[in-house]
A and B are shown apart, each in its own frame.
Chain A
């Protein structure tokens, strides 16, 4: 069930009404049923219900064993069992083909000829979320950062909570546990804020991201025929498109959870206001980067080790992140490039600080900050060429090479871009609306502002003007029938 359809809204409204109609103690169980109903709506997911149920029971039981045992060996054994179960499913569904190809190639090196064996696997909805959530729980229990959950159903609700199934955010059990154990009473203000946040997310996804996608996908879909200005514009816009798409979905998830009485982890904190590449990654997809930081980066030593090891740790984190996005060399390269930029950023920090003293731009703090933001955006957008190429099946090196070709002056380049925008359907009032919409979104979210809380502080007139404006924006400008979120594939 796509969350951008009226069907989902109807489903969600029914769930919300029933949720609050029930006694508080019964709500988590009802939400668990609703989550599985949501999961089972797609026929391809139904066959995987036993797999997820089994993995849920196994990881919960492992957690129980880890928590109740004082024998370290036993605890480690059960932790490994939990990791093997959760990670095994993810690796099997997402990376079997890559793994199988590797075996075939390896056998080829030794003169053996093997046929690749494909299961035609379709990764179930929310598999990544399930993996990260169950892993974090098991590790936290092992590290005694989290109490054992004796109630299987509460745990099952945590790993399959439907608003988070599509693109997260990746929750931690210590954060969600008190909310599950004691459901909140109905609060009109919370619900209204949540509804606004959902609508905000829909505007970001369906109006801004999907319209930008029309142009970006067109350019990347035929990258070999595109001129430099168009490839540059599409590459720059893709970063914005991805933000609107991903954060829009997270807004819908957070808003929906808020209506149901749950506060989830924020996933974005105005990333385009970052003044360094490192800061950018602390503001972008924070639940994911936080997970990598806590469960991979810190165990590797983090930054509290030698400089070379610190830089290596950084590189490992980004490469793992790249690989997680998919079994594709372009994601791996994307991770590598991001890692390289981060490593360079850390390695050159001191010389850059020295140089900054002589840089006239740095004398104006505002100008300096804006220049830094632009540079961070350019670096991010530049690295995303690999990501976009993987998404739209393009050759990233050809895209990079193409960006430098076909320039006959700025004015001609601008005309080139605008004419292609029009032929992609971004004509009439759409470009103006997209520009204004993007500026409004970035402005309102500035400083990591929580829009659900922000809207409740506005007066009635502004609030309802915004509601109607968003309704009109969706009605007039949203792209319908193109509902897949980029991150729901990961």
Chain B
């Protein structure tokens, strides 16, 4: 107290130092009583309240974090969109070369270098990429490839025929369109005889067997080895930054280039046709899917065409018909199932039998034992069409087509557009005939299946 008196006013008196205890739970503070310690310990919020606070806190921070993460989504979206659109390995959009061809065709261009095309991939890609389903599609082998928009009589036509097509190609081409929700109004099918032959010999190695199995299993309900492909593995590529980088380098390599290349740097030689399509020196794929052969091939003299037909005679069976002795019951059922399937999709099926060169057909008639199956096909088809009301035009037997001449052929197997025009009236007419109920009777014509026995010439003696 004495000291306090000597200090200047306002200066606090120093207090004796006290030890600071950093862990109040274990050490007692001098001067603090049990009572005051109890009073200081405030009662915390209840368990229920803390629980809900915890939930709210988690929800708040969770949503905040999520929102911020969403700001990064554009990077992922860009990567996925870029990879999908460029798709240098053709995982989603198909291989680069067929994609180029289809792109050009969809832009209305005729495309060069037909001989090098993978026609099956082109057809499948077309089904995928075409914005609106064409009203009419044509399926079949190279024998249907001369059907053009003009001959069919529809601007909305696409010829999905492929060289060497077997039954699997025919059916899967249509199935592809349906699977993309683009079922056409009319299906023009140029039926080849090997469609009814159930043998490995009738199949073309280029056909997409897996797709056909898928069609048989999923559509016709026939059991096959088909297994649903693992789409997840495929789509995972979209989230692969490495695939994105490949696409980036591919995109920059080909941007603005006159000749585009594939992933490995090989040039893709499919370009728009320049100049008059009729004067091209090599076969071209028209924008409607039909094929225009090179000018020299189209203008071969009749004698040379005849030579080609003669050359085709001994090798006739080698075209998917080796050992074709009888119609296959299975294939006939598959044929029927397919027609029913197409009709169930709202598609009108028109069948066409494209004629063979007269020389070739006559030759076959002279060795009917070797072509038993072949000669059964047309009659069966005619009977089927008659029973099921399916429009049928043309005949394998060229003599049944009025006005058909040898000059209407390119070779033994392929009929020119001028020949087609002689047996096929065009889709609008056919539809009109269906509407009017005046379709030509398939049974009104009977193809020759045996060689005519020459009438005996009366001899002088008999006379």
Contact = CB atoms under 8 A, between A and B. Distances in A.
A475 B75 CA distance: 9
Main secondary structure of the interface of B (DSSP, over half): helix
A86 to B, nearest CB: 33
A475 B242 CA distance: 8
B61 interface: yes
B61 A188 contact: yes
Main secondary structure of the interface of A (DSSP, over half): helix
B65 A471 contact: no
Nearest to A474: B241
A191 B65 contact: yes
Nearest to B82: A475
A23 B64 CA distance: 20
A466 to B, nearest CB: 12
Nearest to B243: A480
A464, A475, A476, A480, most chain B CB atoms within 10 A: A475
23 contacts: A20-B58, A20-B62, A21-B58, A186-B57, A186-B58, A186-B61, A188-B61, A188-B64, A188-B65, A464-B71, A467-B72, A471-B72, A471-B75, A472-B75, A474-B241, A475-B79, A476-B245, A476-B248, A478-B241, A478-B245, A480-B242, A480-B245, A481-B242
Nearest to B75: A471
B239 interface: yes
B227 to A, nearest CB: 25
B22 interface: no
Contacts of A467: 72
Interface string B222-259: 00000000000000000111101100100000000000
B49 interface: no
A475 B64 contact: no
Contact of A475 (B65, B71, B244): B244
Contact of B75 (A21, A188, A468): A468
Contacts of B248: 476
Given A480-B241, A480-B242, A480-B245, 16 more contacts: A20-B61, A21-B58, A186-B58, A188-B61, A188-B64, A188-B65, A191-B65, A192-B68, A464-B71, A467-B72, A468-B75, A472-B75, A474-B241, A475-B241, A476-B245, A481-B242
A6 interface: yes
Interface string B60-81: 0110110010011001000100
Interface string A416-449: 0000000000000000000000000000000000
Interface size class of A (residues with CB under 8 A): 20 to 34
Contacts of A192: 68
Contacts of A464: 71
A478 B240 CA distance: 12
A472 B57 CA distance: 33
Contacts of B71: 464
A445 to B, nearest CB: 23
Nearest to A16: B65
Nearest to A187: B61
Contacts of B62: 17, 20
Contacts of A480: 240-242, 245
A21 B59 CA distance: 9
B82 to A, nearest CB: 9
A38 B236 CA distance: 22
A430 B72 CA distance: 24
A225 B259 CA distance: 38
Interface in A1-29: 6, 17, 20-21, 23
A158 B406 CA distance: 91
Interface string A461-488: 0001001100110111010110000000
A468 B79 CA distance: 13
Contacts of B244: 475
B233 to A, nearest CB: 14
B239 A6 contact: yes
Contacts of A481: 242
A481 B245 CA distance: 12
B208 to A, nearest CB: 31
A409 to B, nearest CB: 34
A193 to B, nearest CB: 12
